[in-house]
Amino acid sequence: MKLIIDYANLEKIKEMYMYYPVDGVTTNPSILAKENRNPYEVLKEIREFIGAEGELHVQVISKIAEDMVEEADKIRQELGDNTYIKVPVTKEGLKAIKILAKKGVNVTATAIYTQMQGYLAGKAGAKYAAPYVNRIDNLGANGVKVAKDIHDIYVKNNIETEVIAASFKNSQQVLELAKYGIGAATIAPDVMNGLIKLDAVTCAVDAFIKDFESVCGENATMLNI
């Protein structure tokens, strides 16, 4: 399972890349709005940081298929041909996904709340499909199950699309989907930090240091004894 950062703040993205085995960056209009600058300015900085081959996902805003396709063209002109174009899976979105897929554009089908949206997006030619795990949970349904079902639908129907699950709020949701072997999970920095935050680990490491220092002196390490 790939690990992607769901964020647009460059400093945070740099921090995540420094600490974690990260495979790319996803954004959406709300995430970009938080930066309060021209989104292309923000996205170009991210592209420069992750490099031309880095996985960058950018969403269209229009509601009509032909307009979505035009937006996709502009996004790829500005940010590179390999940029994944996020298209919400509405009726118009499906039409746009079909057109873009035929042109060889990498599409990430997004705003997925149901298995059927996932199936249709895959069948239409999207490279990725993004079910919103936590938002689905908040509707009283089971987001992890929706993501797993979409993965199974692709495997059973020989559809090459991968699930890129999104909207995580806790480590358990991420772990469940890693165990299942879905294609990718895109995660906000606070949830990413939560994946490794465990008081028991901190205590264990502190105890090792204390024992070592009790014999070798304060601030002793294997380098300076």
Candidates 72, 167, 177, 185: give the one binding ligand G3P (CB under 6 A).
167
CB of 80 to ligand G3P, least distance (A): 20
9 binds ligand G3P (CB under 6 A): no
How far are the Cα atoms of 36, 138, 199, 219 from residue 111, in angstroms, in the given order?
Answer: 23, 14, 35, 51
How far are the Cα atoms of 62, 100, 123, 193 from residue 88, in angstroms, in the given order?
Answer: 10, 13, 15, 28
Rounded to the nearest 5 degrees, what angle is found at the Cα of 49, between the Cα atoms of 43 and 53? Answer: 90
The residue range among 32-40, 118-126, 128-136, 202-210 that interacts with ligand G3P, by the rule CB under 6 A, is 128-136
| Residue 127 bears catalytic tag | no
134 binds ligand G3P (CB under 6 A): yes
55 binds ligand G3P (CB under 6 A): no
Of residues 132 and 154, the one with the C-beta less far from ligand G3P: 132
Q: How many residues bind ligand G3P (CB under 6 A)?
A: 7
Structure tokens at 97: 């996904």
- Report the distance separating Cα 19 and Cα 70, nearest Å: 37
Residue 167 amino acid letter? S
Candidates 84, 119, 128, 132: give the one binding ligand G3P (CB under 6 A).
132
28 binds ligand G3P (CB under 6 A): yes
Residues sharing a CB contact under 8 Å with residue 39, sequence separation 6 or more, in sequence order: 29, 32
CB of 220 to ligand G3P, least distance (A): 44
The residue range among 62-70, 77-85, 130-138, 153-161 that interacts with ligand G3P, by the rule CB under 6 A, is 130-138
Contacting residues toward ligand G3P, per CB under 6 A: 6, 28, 132, 134-135, 166-167
